[in-house]
Structure 1
Amino acid sequence: MKLERLFASFNISAMGLSAQRKRMTAIAENIANVETTRTEKGTPYKRKVVVMRASVEGNFANVLKKETMGLEVTNEKHISSNFVEFEDGRDAVRGVRTEVVEDNSPERLVYNPEHPDADENGYVHMPNVNIVVEMVDMISATRSYEANVTAFNASKNMAKDALEI
């Protein structure tokens, strides 16, 4: 068994923890700027969203082929035996890629003629941040972070138990 395979579950959990931490950071920035009507660009703050994508070499079929190579086949008709593994032994799945992007939903218009950033009709262009949505996203990110911590601890206990055999 390759040593990298032993620590694969640790790496998966660590990538999940990192992705959820980045998501929590974006949410905190959104909440902090819920009333920011003018940024350095002179426009209202734009909500930040973290987009997560699987970072995969090749396509899904190649990943599936690589993962099923280790399966024991009881009937040859269940899984075809012509699976091809990467020639150089690379892992097909590299984890999660995260990217912070701006949400392009429209700004909120609030009538407040005394505000210094009010337009000629008395409306202020407010950020497209909804505090309720941000709080729900924060709870979701927190739960996902906790799930990754639980998976990491389970992997750690399994590795420890395996060493005790």
Structure 2
Amino acid sequence: MDYSQSFAISAIGMNIERARVDVAALNLANANTVQGVGGVSYQPLRVLAVAQANGAGTANGASGTFGAMVSEGLEGSEAISQAAPLMRIVPADAAPRLVYEPGHPLANERGYVAYAGVDTATEMVSMMSATRAYEANVSAMNTTRTLAMRALDIGGNA
């Protein structure tokens, strides 16, 4: 059995979750960034993971179904590397957060200051869920390593 596919799946997952933690930390760091005079402010970011289509024909003519993807994965040893998700970091469509601070130098004519549209609660939840998912991928990788080592031990004693 080839354990490299299991390691590759866990590595891809860890890479995506690390990016989610990094982006959430960046958003939190810029939560109190004030919109500048030119109207440009920090735009919160999001991580999108999009699966690549490998371009091969699918089993049973069912294109894009979960069962067809599993069948392709079982048939081809390189299916994991071809189906690795693309990760994109895109700006979120968040309106600026207006805070009433009439004494602030960047306040508008009504006394409101435009801060970056970052929701700290959402970012903290995103960071915690990404951390838990990263830990799950590490656990899966450690389990795969343990299984591979036990298989080698059994094979060496035969």
Percent identical among aligned pairs is: 36
* Kept in 1: contact 2:35–2:114 (CA 8 A): no
> Secondary structure in 2 aligned to 1:155?
helix
2:32 corresponding residue in structure 1: 35
In 2, Cα distance between equivalents of 1:53 and 1:141: 17
Structure 1 unmatched runs, 5+: 70-84
Offset at 1:98? Answer: 1.0
Judge conservation of contact 1:55–1:94 (CA < 8 Å) in 2. yes
Please say which of residues 128-137 and 47-56 is displaced more in the overlay: 47-56
Q: Secondary structure at the match of 1:60?
A: coil
- Moved beyond 4 Å, runs of 4+: none
Residue number in structure 2 paired with 1:8: 5
1:157 aligns with 146
Amino acid in structure 1 at the alignment position of 2:79: D
**Structure 1 counterpart of 2:45, from 45, 48, 72:** 48
User: Comparing both structures, which one devotes a greater share of its residues to helix?
Assistant: 2
Separation of aligned partners in 2, 1:64 and 1:140: 26
Q: In structure 2, how many angstroms separate the alpha carbons of the residues matched to 1:21 and 1:32?
A: 16
> Counterparts of 1:13-162 in structure 2 under 5 Å?
13-38=10-35, 42-58=39-55, 59-61=63-65, 63-67=69-73, 69=75, 90-91=78-79, 93-162=82-151
Contact 1:56 / 1:95 at 8 angstroms: preserved in 2? no
Shift of 1:123: 1.0
Higher mean C-alpha displacement, 50-59 vs 108-117: 50-59
Count of residues in Structure 1 that have an aligned counterpart in Structure 2: 144
Partner of 1:72: none
Alignment RMSD (CA, Å): 2.3
The answer to whether the Cα contact below 8 Å between 2:50 and 2:87 also exists between their aligned partners in 1 is yes
| TM-score when normalising by structure 2 | 0.80
SS of the equivalent of 1:100 reads strand
Give 2:151's aligned amino acid. Answer: A
Task: Give the AA of the match of 2:125.
Answer: V
Q: Distance in 2 between matches of 1:144 and 1:36?
A: 29
Q: TM-score, normalised by structure 1?
A: 0.77
